[in-house]
Structure 1
Amino acid sequence: MDEKMMEHKLSLVSLDQSSLTSNLPSIGDDNEVTLETRDFSPEHLLLKIESFSLLSENGIDKIESSEFESDDNYKWKLIIYPNGRNTEDGANHVSAYLAVENTSNLDAGWEFNAVVSIFLFNHKLDKYAFKKGQRRFHLINPEWGFSKFIVKETLTNPSNGYLVDDTCVFGAEVFVAKNKGIRECLSFLKVTDSCKRELKISKFSELENEWYSEEFNDGDHKWKVCVYPKGIGAQKGSHVSIFLHKVGFSSSKKVEADYSICMKNRYGYVYRKSNNHWFSASNRSWGWPGFIPIASMKTSGFLVEDHCIFEVEISIRAILRSIP
């Protein structure tokens, strides 16, 4: 068996899966974990324990494997408690745990998710029985496993096939989830104040292309206003087009804003349009292609001595940002 095991060769048994499960003694009583079996040995660690009966005689209640490395370059140890980890949840059982090693070399605030499997070889059936679970490992909780991995009497009874010639073999596999997912935080803000800016465009009729205002701040957010005096797209030649433009995106991925742009004519009449939009790096500008007819600029008194004045008001309602 040892040569087969150490060479990681497949070992086929002339029993179907249902027959195997019904003949295999139950491993532990961790009800949330389903017992599984397979032919091939664990990928990352095999730990052979000889003279198992001498552990209790010599007062050895904890066995640690050498440090091993999983495919993701994290360091681990397998820890076996032959008499259970403690009297409350491991009494009359063998406990088995996997622990992250060299945590001082990991980044501050480290954490990751891993699928953990702990194995015990059954010599009689030439199969590996194992328990598997998923766990989030982090600085406060760098160790996880099964307090009731196997009933000690089940393991030590040679007829069950786990202990042969006073020797048993444990194993371990760990696969860390590659965390490529997006992590975001959505914050809703209580709107108490708004940002207001008055902007002036001189020599309006002489402008051929777009006009950008200077940047202005609303707290941590920067904005510009873009005006097309002769319109844009389908409104070109008939309407003035106006857009609010978000400048820069750092940790903020999206910003939801209520905003309005108004113009006051020489008679005191206010022409206003309002909108709400989620601004993002791929959608920085939003506004009105047909804000006001070009003809109305003069006839309605919004253009005085070839300049116009308008006011922008912005209220941030929510921020969606990336988190580490």
Structure 2
Amino acid sequence: MLISVYVPLAVTAVLTLLAPGVARRLAPRPAAWALACTALVTTVGWTGSLVLLAFTGIAQIPQVAAEGRWSVPALRAEDPVYLAVAVVSALVLVAGFVSLVLAAVRQARHLLWARRECARMPGGSELTVVDDDTPQAFALPGAPGRIVVSRGMLRCLDGEEREALLAHERAHLRGRHHVFQTLWRLAAALNPLLRPLADAGGFALERWADEDAAAQVGSRRVVARAVGRAALASSSRASSTPALAVTGGAVPQRVRALLAPPPPRRTFPIAGGALLLTLCCAGLANAASDSDQMLDDAQRAQCAASITHASVAPRSGGFHHGPDGCCEHRVRGVRGERHG
């Protein structure tokens, strides 16, 4: 446990530094899936390691030890974690879970707002054109999702660019990109180290939609032109633009990628990331096994101490093992015994 419990934390730090840069060199769709898997596995590993570290300190509280029927001195003797580390881990866990709850509430409100807006949109078609001179276009996830475009945005684009814009937003809905965003935001709320990974994931989603739009329109240059013009037109309102929008992400880098050939599929970075994630899971499993063994040893020590204490106690009787495997002392009082 001394080393393995820190492996998930180290893997999380390494992937946080490397994954965003590597993901930008991959094809966007596998990059988004790889970042989603990375966020999920590292969040579980990060949380599990902090729980194990915090529990080594909590388990030494006398009331907790009494409930668990283990020996505090034995646990303290085998515990490889400093008390300060356990306390810090517990505080980080509490702060992370509070942040996670707040982020989950915000995400739930956002999804409910999207569903209400979809229900309020006139007509039953996928596309809704609003009478607004402000250039904006975005996808509203829902059941079904809707594409919202203002007349101001349509006036900024020609026919081919409009088709590219709609194909981009349609790709967001078809790929259910809001689910990816929710996962990254919740993971980053629980573990602030994953915020760069969440930002890289948002860029991968926009690139994913760009590539799908280019395949549907048949021209990468048209999609690049549509992305650039839409971003320039809506630049004054960039802060209020919804996340699933053609103007999201680093627009210059997206345009540059669209003007270049399609990105090749690379398997080596994904294989390397999968190896690190496997190491993260193995480290957490080994730390959990060591922690369980440590508690078993502390329970046996408590059992042995109970036997020793009872053997020297006056008028002590026999012993028996309870259903949970822990030794229990049973005093056999003899009532009504006659002595000759």
TM-score bracket, shorter-length normalisation: under 0.3
Higher strand share goes to which structure?
Answer: 1
Q: TM-score, normalised by structure 2?
A: 0.20
Q: TM-score, normalised by structure 1?
A: 0.20
Query: Relative contact order, CA 8 A, sep 6+: which one is greater?
Result: 2
